């Protein structure tokens, strides 16, 4: 599997563990349309509702299966809010039991995001990425 596709899958599989309302800076993915989109909000019948625009263009995309693709800044905010220490991140970064299946060949921000996501899921839910799904650390 392509490393970026694997990160998107990691985010999809993290949905039951990490969920929050969308905000205007979010990046989302639609499996049915196979497209990354930016989240914008539009006034529809007097209420602000999310609309989705392709990341590489200005075309609106309609789908009902969008999920959040976590960005590094969001994950760093979650870490600081939860009190997870940065030293815990650096300890886990080289851990064979927790992060060994996190795709290491992802460039730059996707790589950092994959590691941060793994840290959060591990610390908050006791799960590790096995290359396909988040599983209890004992199963990883």
Count CB atoms within 10 A of the CB of residue 57.
Answer: 11
Q: How far is CA 57 from CA 96, 112, 133, in A?
A: 40, 25, 31
The reported pLDDT for the residue numbered 32 is 93
Each of the 140 residues of the chain gets a pLDDT tens digit; together they read 677 888 899 999 999 999 888 888 888 999 999 988 888 888 888 888 878 888 777 788 888 899 999 988 888 888 888 877 666 666 666 655 555 556 554 455 677 788 889 889 988 898 988 889 999 987 65
Cβ partners under 8 Å of residue 89, min gap 6: 79, 115, 116, 119
The model carries a pTM of 0.79
The reported pLDDT for the residue numbered 30 is 92
């Amino acid at each position: 599997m392509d490393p970026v596709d694997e990160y998107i899958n990691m985010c999809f599989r993290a949905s039951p563990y990490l969920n929050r309302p969308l905000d205007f800076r979010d990046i989302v993915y639609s499996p049915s349309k196979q497209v990354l989109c930016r989240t914008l909000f539009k006034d529809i019948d007097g209420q602000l509702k999310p609309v989705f625009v392709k990341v590489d263009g200005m075309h609106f995309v309609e789908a009902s299966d969008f999920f959040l693709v976590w960005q590094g800044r969001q994950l760093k905010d979650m870490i600081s809010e939860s009190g997870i220490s940065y030293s815990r991140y650096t300890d886990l970064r080289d851990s064979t039991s927790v992060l060994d299946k996190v795709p290491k060949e992802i460039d730059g921000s996707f790589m950092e995001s994959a590691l941060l996501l793994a840290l959060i899921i591990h610390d908050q839910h006791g799960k590790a990425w096995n290359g396909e799904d988040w599983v209890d650390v004992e199963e990883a």
